[in-house]
Amino acid sequence: MKKVAVKVSENKIFFSYIYIDPTIINVIIEENSKNKYIFSEIYLKNNYKLFFSFINNILTTKNIKTIVLEDVNLLPLIVKIINDIKKKIYLIISDDAIIDDDITKILLKTKYIEKLNCYDITKKNAEIIANNNIIFKTRKELLTLSNFSTSNELDNFSDIYFKEDVKVINNFNNNDLVDFENFCKQNKNLKNIYFYGFPSQNAESILDNVKFNYLNKIKISLYVDSNNIDIFRKSIKKIKKLKKRYSKNKNIKFEVIYSEEYYKKNYFKQLSLITLKVCCLVGIVFAISIISIMAYNNYMSNKSIKDIKIIATPKKITLTEPIVEQSETQEPETSQQESKVNLSENYDELLKINPDTIGWLKVNNTNVDLPIVQTTDNDYYLDYNFYKKRNYNGWAFVDYRNDINNLDQNTIIYGHNGTIFGSLYNTLKNYWLNNENNYIITFNTRTAKMQFRIFSIYKTTPDFYYLNINYPSEIDFMNFISETKNRSIHNFNTEVTQNDQILTLSTCIEKGTQRVVIHAKRI
């Protein structure tokens, strides 16, 4: 007789079918373990409320947020339980079921599945699931022999579907072209293609696939350094021709990124003496103009920050807030009065200036002490300041995907390397790292006061691997934590667990070819 088995293990609850003695009908059986229980289907049908109360008690007392379904035929029962729980759940379907139309219909009967791990999913249903804000991860490995799939780590369908950045290292063979074409048909999130070598033989095929499969904006970046400059020189005529042809499509943007090493070794070699003299004269005039503009922009940005700090200072002092004891990592308050008053920023005044205001960020011993904004994309505040006026310094902003009221696993704040986040470069220096008081970052919002302790600081290339706001599983999240700690230039001796919430600060350096990245966990 078929029975429903429930097992609790490693912060997960497992549901499966088993076959046991048919003489056992309506009784809950404890099978040689206090963590495994067996129910007949008749019992569940007649006593669902009692059964749900039992399951809900397990989930609540053990703080379990992951349900493992070992037989997809139990999905209707699990969806009913999830709806009654009314809490976000990570659902793992551990058998080899493919998420088809029927299974998708059942999954969409609840709005509480936040993440889904499954064997495989059809393309149509992947779009439906993703459009309902469910992050999915597939396990079925794709068999491929192409360099494109290998170099971009496209091991399964979910890797392909959610991929935002891909790289092209050299000419594509037939396997590469087939895999790239399939990638473009299945992927819905591509934003950047990086050419580390120019595939002159099949560049048009690659770009045609991009043109016909994407309606969103795609940036094509040609990354030039000393190792591949000869390839680009030989292809310069074709690159110009392709750029002219495909730039007519407003959704494709071309750019050339030169490495700093290339600038040093090759820039002056390309100029004749006469051209060099003329360029120097023009360059001096241009430089003076640029420096003047930069100086004015920097002056206005610094003035804006000073003015905003004055505006943000609360006009009334409130003594009703309880005193919060400081942790050992916090810097001591400068006076007894300051430890008692409410130090919240005056958001009413800030919101009058900019309705996008969501919080205030302070990084010790840097110039980062300013309000933070968030809008519907990650582009606007690259070119506009807090007053929503065009300024190349931009402003510091939270990734548009982040939920600032209910923090994701990884909350990301960006800022240009200049007046806004330029002083974060100090965090790479020994004098800053040797002061443990600097490890605490304050990030207040309109509804919460928060502090984060730094556990990793490093420089990296713009590969954007750290820009996920949530992770499909605890293993993926802890792999991310391990990678960031391994990259860190300093051992902060800070333990990070799968339950921690992460704050990431990111700014560009070295003409956009590098990033300074700081990771801290909420304390």
Which range of 144-148, 231-235, 288-292, 299-303 scores highest in mean pLDDT? It is 144-148
DSSP string, 390-455: B-TT---EE-TT--SSS--SEEEEE--TTTTTGGGGGGGSHHHHT-GGGGEEEEEESS---EEEEE
Q: Over 60: is that where the pLDDT of 488 sits?
A: yes
Mean pLDDT of the 502-510 span: 91
Task: Tell whether 356 and 227 lie within a shared domain.
Answer: no
**138, 164, 189: which is the final residue of a domain?**
138
- φ, ψ (nearest 5 deg) of residue 510: 50, 55
The pTM of the full predicted model, rounded to 2 decimals, is: 0.45
Q: How confident is residue 420, by pLDDT bands cut at 50, 70 and 90?
A: confident
Domain membership flag for residue 348:
yes
| Long-range contacts from 476-484, C-beta under 8 angstroms, 24+ separation | 476/137, 477/409, 480/410, 481/455, 484/455, 484/456, 484/458, 484/517, 484/519
Task: Tell whether 193 and 81 lie within a shared domain.
Answer: no
Q: Over 60: is that where the pLDDT of 373 sits?
A: yes
Q: Which tens digits make up the pLDDT trace of 27-42?
A: 455 544 567 888 988 8
More confident of the two residues 16 and 249? 16
Which range of 239-243, 411-415, 464-468 scores highest in mean pLDDT? It is 411-415
Task: Tell whether 133 and 157 lie within a shared domain.
Answer: no
Per-residue pLDDT at 106: 94
Per-residue pLDDT at 185: 85
Q: Over 60: is that where the pLDDT of 324 sits?
A: no
Per-residue pLDDT at 217: 84
Q: How confident is residue 410, by pLDDT bands cut at 50, 70 and 90?
A: very high
Per-residue pLDDT at 343: 43
Report the percent of the chain where pLDDT is more than 90.
44
Domain membership flag for residue 274:
no
User: 69-73, 122-126, 131-135, 326-330: which has the minimum mean pLDDT?
Assistant: 326-330
Q: How confident is residue 510, by pLDDT bands cut at 50, 70 and 90?
A: confident
Mean pLDDT of the 77-88 span: 93
Q: Over 70: is that where the pLDDT of 293 sits?
A: no
Domain membership flag for residue 215:
yes
Of 200, 195, 151, the residue nearest 176 (C-alpha): 151
Query: For the CA atoms of 327, 477, 411, 519, what is the dihedral angle to 10 degrees?
Result: 50
**79, 108, 138: which is the final residue of a domain?**
138
Report the percent of the chain where pLDDT is more than 70.
80
Domain membership flag for residue 276:
no
Domain membership flag for residue 19:
yes
- Left if phi > 0, otherwise alpha if psi is -120 to 50, otherwise beta: which for 219? beta
Per-residue pLDDT at 53: 93
Q: How confident is residue 511, by pLDDT bands cut at 50, 70 and 90?
A: confident
Task: Tell whether 258 and 323 lie within a shared domain.
Answer: no
Specify burial of residue 32 (Cβ count, 10 A radius: 0-12, 13-18, 19+): exposed
Number of domains within the chain? 3
Q: Over 90: is that where the pLDDT of 414 sits?
A: yes
Domain membership flag for residue 32:
yes
Task: Tell whether 334 and 356 lie within a shared domain.
Answer: yes
Per-residue pLDDT at 317: 38
Residue numbers of the domain that contains 223: 147-266
- Report the DSSP pairing between strands 514-522 and 451-460: antiparallel
Domain membership flag for residue 98:
yes
Task: Tell whether 375 and 444 lie within a shared domain.
Answer: yes
Q: Over 90: is that where the pLDDT of 457 sits?
A: yes
Task: Tell whether 68 and 207 lie within a shared domain.
Answer: no
Q: How far apart are CA 433 and CA 291, in angstroms?
A: 32
Within 214-342, where are the H helices? Answer: 229-234, 236-246, 260-266, 273-312
List, in sequence order, every residue forming a beta bridge with 384; answer none if it has no partner.
Answer: 390
User: 99-113, 134-148, 221-235, 328-342: which has the minimum mean pLDDT?
Assistant: 328-342
Domain membership flag for residue 272:
no
Task: Tell whether 430 and 467 lie within a shared domain.
Answer: yes
Task: Tell whether 420 and 514 lie within a shared domain.
Answer: yes
Task: Tell whether 369 and 428 lie within a shared domain.
Answer: yes
Q: How confident is residue 291, by pLDDT bands cut at 50, 70 and 90?
A: low
Q: Which residue has the tokens 């969501």?
A: 358
More confident of the two residues 93 and 185? 93
Q: Over 70: is that where the pLDDT of 167 sits?
A: yes
Q: Over 90: is that where the pLDDT of 409 sits?
A: yes
Task: Tell whether 128 and 161 lie within a shared domain.
Answer: no
Per-residue pLDDT at 326: 42
Task: Tell whether 420 and 460 lie within a shared domain.
Answer: yes
- Its sign, for the CA torsion 59, 64, 66, 71, is negative
More confident of the two residues 384 and 248? 384
**138, 173, 190: which is the final residue of a domain?**
138
Q: Give me the CATH number covering residue 384.
A: 2.40.260.10
Mean pLDDT of the 494-523 span: 91
Q: How far apart are CA 85 and CA 515, in angstroms?
A: 42
Q: Which tens digits make up the pLDDT trace of 460-486?
A: 887 767 889 999 999 999 999 999 999
